[in-house]
Amino acid sequence: MKLAYYPGCTLHGTAREYDASTKAVCKAAGIELTEIDDWNCCGALEAIFDKELSMGLSARNNFKAQKTGLDLVVPCSICSHNLSRADKAMKTDSAFRAKIEKALGEKYTGVKIKHLLDVVVNDLGTEALATKFKKSLNGIKAVPYYGCLLIRPSEVCKFDNPENPTSLDNIIKATGAECLPFTQKTKCCGGNLLMSKQDYAFILTKKLFDEAKAAGANCIVVACPMCHMLLDGQQGMIEKAHNTVIDMPVLYFTQLIGLAMGLGEKELELDKNMVSTSKLIASIGKEKPPEKKAEAKIATAVEAEAAQ
């Protein structure tokens, strides 16, 4: 599979481990990525005060991708949202399209934009992916965290259920790690308020940690650099602000897949995560695979009740 690749600003900065693990995993899975030439920032959520400017910034990248003749894969949920939205507007809003075509002196024919998680789960497929796995990640007890723009609004990201997504769940299960139920999976981390209303952002993220801990998780799996910035990058600040200890590693789903593929920790840049991942990695294989103890217990209880 050959795809055009738009990393976005964070993957060349604070989310460099997402870039590294994406490239490593795609290579191992037989996906050839070609970074699009001279891409620019999508405007993130900071151009919300000017919708056309926001979409205009993204549209330039879609033109660049169009030149490759390939589908475009985007690992960041915010970039993926913005580029998809711009593509939709270019196809449906002729006035907007005319402005951008005039500015760039080119015609737009459209490009298929996909989040990396969509490509892995739907184009590659978890079964095909699992054939590349070299070890089971039992010992890792993960909660899947989807956040916002990966799955919402469904008019631009159509690949999973916006209220109860399962793509990350399926990947976690395929690696042999335990996937725990997580009621906060689609809640907001408050990332967009980090700079302007930090205390609220921290309360929102703290709720995710509380729930993940209550579920018995020893790690959180994400597919967005903004979620990762809050959960991993800001974890120390949240501990300080709430006078507590969280100590919860947060992996990009590509890092999790890479571990199951037997790729090296350096290659996956697991040392670049702000919260240490070494204890988590040491726990791999130290536990017997879960024997569906809980389910068995419930079944016995139900049988006992039925017998009464």
Name the residues that contact another protein, by CB under 8 A: 9, 12-16, 38-41, 43-53, 55-57, 59-60, 96, 99-100, 102-104, 147-149, 152-154, 162-163, 186-188, 190-193, 195-197, 200-201, 203-204, 233, 236-237, 271-272, 274
Nearer to another protein, 103 or 298 (CB): 103
**Please, what is the minimum distance in Å from the beta carbon of residue 179 to another protein?**
23
In this structure, what are the phi and psi dihedrals at residue 113, rounded to the nearest 5 degrees?
-110, 130
Take residue 283 and report the two structure tokens written for it: 């726990």
Question: How near is the Cβ of 98 to another protein at its closest, in Å?
Answer: 9
CB of 176 to another protein, least distance (A): 29
Closer residue to another protein in complex, CB, 124/237: 237
Rounded to a whole number of angstroms, the minimum distance from the CB of residue 94 to another protein is: 14
**Alpha carbons 2 and 251: distance in angstroms, whole number:** 26
- Which residues touch 92 (CB under 8 Å, ≥6 apart)? none
Q: Which is nearer to another protein, 8 or 176 (CB)?
A: 8
Place of tokens 């990393």: 7
Nearer to another protein, 12 or 297 (CB): 12
Closer by beta carbon to another protein, 49 or else 127: 49
Q: Is 224 left (phi over 0), alpha (psi -120 to 50) or beta?
A: beta
Helices (H), 3-111: 16-29, 51-68, 77-92, 94-104
How many CA atoms within 13 Å lie on the side-chain side of 210?
Answer: 10
Q: What is the DSSP string of 175-208?
A: TT-EE---TTTTS---GGGTTT-HHHHHHHHHHH
Closest CB 214 distance from another protein, rounded Å: 17
CB of 29 or CB of 193, closer to another protein: 193
Question: For residues 75 and 122, what is the distance between their CA atoms, to the nearest angstrom?
Answer: 15
Nearest distance from C-beta of residue 15 to another protein, angstroms = 8
